[in-house]
């Protein structure tokens, strides 16, 4: 069985550069039946004998597409048998597991798949699991994470080698990351390699598919035909700079020099992130920024648990009484063209301007609303049980508690967050959350309410 030299050479270069497989390694290849994984299996099969690799194929049947899922399983079994490769097959009812966990089908499928692959690796004695992620997957992932507000770790994308989330003693390897999807398809067509097409890849209900089918073609047509190379270069730059900040934080935590207030912002954030992890706290951006902005002020990380940053940048944990819902409110009249207010430890400044064009030149902690939708009187208060909110982009209002849960906001922190409502009681802004859908700027907007806030 021959293999397109371009793919083979790229794989060999990736394997050597990342030290993905040792001579004589036992390798488990994750094979879905799609073109990417079938090319991966063919490539590893081609390279295995001269390198002494012992190859096993693994297929996980998600049972999401009925007969089509079973057909994928048969294809993998048949191909492995023809190439004399041992195969391990697992299956699970992913939808039932998603309902049990209260998670999305995608999240449940990923968790179950990685658990199966880790078990299969242990069963076959494999220390590495080869995955078929490729160049186009990296680009799609970049935009998915960008739109979710990821930092440099997320935007740097998948690594060629990383620990399995289900068993850190087993490594995931991705020898096809330097190969484009069209290269894999060209090889499969030239060699008449059998593979299956997953119909769920066409569903626009899935965010990744919308990125692939709508966003990326638009960007290539209207802005950058060579999008893959441009984004991959940006990912490499962001990843290297994030690594530099991480190393700077590690060195500072060890030596406590130079002084905290002279550290670059990126290094401060990384130092706080690492300390929060050590304290067992979720290190989200808003929490890190609150700690970075204020010293000797307790910040809630869980019910009855707080962290405090001292003036030298060190965090300490403190405990306190469980917080209750706060009934404090403040009426603010939006008279004239500008004004200010204080509430809940925050200082607000607002301004009304003409037109619908948004201007975010002032940076963080700024939002803009349709002033006429908001009205001339607002109420500042804290979250209350039963509050409902429709974030921008959402089709309908939802419980604010669910919004906080999705954002992984600590319970105690939720009750300290400030929100703003119209005089009629409709929430249009929540601290640390997207603005309200009904209050966003539109072409019909004639006046903007520019809303800024900061810690007192």
pLDDT in tens, the chain (456 residues): 445 558 889 999 999 998 999 999 999 999 999 999 999 999 999 999 999 999 999 999 999 989 999 999 999 999 999 999 999 999 999 999 888 877 788 888 999 999 999 999 999 999 999 999 999 999 999 999 998 888 999 999 999 999 999 999 999 999 999 999 999 999 899 889 999 988 888 888 788 899 999 999 999 999 999 999 999 999 999 999 999 999 999 999 999 889 999 999 999 999 999 999 999 887 888 889 889 988 888 887 776 788 999 999 999 998 865 556 677 899 999 988 999 999 988 999 999 998 765 554 445 688 999 999 999 999 999 988 889 999 988 888 989 988 888 887 777 678 888 999 999 999 999 998 889 999 999 888 999 999 999 887
> What was the pLDDT predicted at 195?
95
**Alpha-carbon gap, residue 175 to 193, rounded angstroms:** 19
> What was the pLDDT predicted at 106?
85
Asked whether 206 and 109 are in contact (CB, 8 A), the reply is: no
> What was the pLDDT predicted at 287?
85
Q: Closest Cα partner for 173 from 181, 162, 182?
A: 162
Between CA 226 and CA 172, with CA 207 as vertex, the angle to 5 degrees is 75
**Alpha-carbon gap, residue 146 to 139, rounded angstroms:** 11
Q: Closest Cα partner for 98 from 72, 71, 64?
A: 64
Contacts (Cβ under 8 Å, ≥6 apart) of 222: none
219-235 as b/e: b if 16+ CB within 10 A: beeeeeeebbeebbeeb
Element (H, E) at 373: helix 371-374
- Residue 115, classed as helix, strand or coil, is helix
> What was the pLDDT predicted at 44?
96
**Alpha-carbon gap, residue 140 to 209, rounded angstroms:** 9
Distances (CA, A) of 111 to 10, 98, 232, 243, 326: 30, 10, 27, 27, 38
* pTM of the complete model: 0.73
Bridge partner list, 58: 30, 88
> What was the pLDDT predicted at 301?
79
Distances (CA, A) of 45 to 4, 41, 51, 81, 87: 14, 6, 11, 12, 13
> What was the pLDDT predicted at 269?
96
Asked whether 100 and 129 are in contact (CB, 8 A), the reply is: no
Asked whether 426 and 383 are in contact (CB, 8 A), the reply is: no
Asked whether 394 and 437 are in contact (CB, 8 A), the reply is: yes
**Phi and psi torsions of 407, nearest 5°:** -85, 0
**Alpha-carbon gap, residue 179 to 121, rounded angstroms:** 25
> What was the pLDDT predicted at 360?
46
> What was the pLDDT predicted at 149?
83
């Amino acid at each position: 069985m021959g293999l397109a030299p371009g793919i083979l050479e790229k794989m060999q270069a990736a394997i050597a550069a990342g030290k993905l497989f040792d001579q004589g390694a036992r390798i488990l290849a994750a094979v879905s039946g799609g073109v990417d994984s079938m090319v991966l299996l063919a490539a590893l099969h081609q390279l295995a004998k001269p390198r002494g690799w012992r190859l096993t194929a693994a297929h996980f049947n998600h049972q999401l597409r009925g007969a089509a899922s079973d057909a994928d399983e048969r294809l993998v079994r048949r191909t492995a048998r023809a190439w004399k490769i041992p195969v391990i097959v697992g299956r699970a009812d992913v939808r039932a597991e998603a309902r049990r966990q209260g998670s999305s089908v995608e999240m449940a499928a990923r968790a179950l798949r990685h658990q199966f692959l880790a078990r299969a690796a242990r069963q076959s004695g494999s220390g590495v699991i080869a995955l078929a992620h490729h160049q186009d997957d990296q680009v799609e992932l970049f935009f998915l994470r960008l739109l979710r507000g990821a930092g440099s770790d997320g935007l740097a994308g998948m690594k060629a080698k990383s620990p399995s989330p289900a068993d850190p003693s087993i490594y995931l390897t991705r020898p096809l990351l330097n190969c484009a999807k069209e290269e894999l398809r060209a090889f499969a067509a030239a060699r008449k390699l059998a593979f299956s097409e997953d119909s769920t890849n066409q569903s626009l209900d899935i965010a990744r598919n919308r990125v692939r089918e709508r966003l990326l073609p638009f960007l290539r047509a209207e802005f950058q035909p060579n999008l893959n190379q441009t984004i991959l270069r940006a990912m490499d730059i962001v990843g290297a700079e994030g690594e530099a900040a991480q190393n700077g934080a590690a060195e500072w935590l060890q030596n406590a020099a130079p002084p905290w207030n002279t550290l670059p912002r990126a290094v401060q954030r990384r130092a706080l992130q690492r300390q929060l992890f050590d304290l067992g706290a979720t290190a989200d951006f808003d929490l890190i920024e609150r700690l970075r902005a204020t010293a000797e002020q307790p910040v809630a990380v869980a019910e009855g648990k707080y962290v405090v940053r001292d003036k030298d940048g060190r965090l300490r944990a403190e405990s306190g009484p469980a917080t209750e819902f706060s009934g404090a409110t403040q009426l603010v009249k939006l008279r004239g063209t500008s004004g200010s207010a204080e509430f809940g430890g925050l200082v607000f400044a607002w301004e009304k301007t003409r037109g619908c064009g948004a201007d975010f030149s002032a940076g963080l902690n700024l939002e803009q609303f349709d002033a006429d939708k908001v009205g001339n009187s607002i109420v500042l208060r804290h979250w209350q049980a039963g509050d409902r909110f429709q974030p921008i982009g959402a089709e309908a209002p939802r419980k604010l508690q669910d919004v906080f849960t999705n954002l992984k906001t600590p319970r105690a922190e939720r009750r300290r967050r400030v929100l703003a409502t119209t005089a009629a009681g409709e929430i249009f802004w929540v601290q640390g959350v997207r603005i309200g859908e009904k209050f966003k700027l539109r072409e019909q907007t004639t006046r903007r309410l520019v809303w800024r806030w900061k810690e007192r």
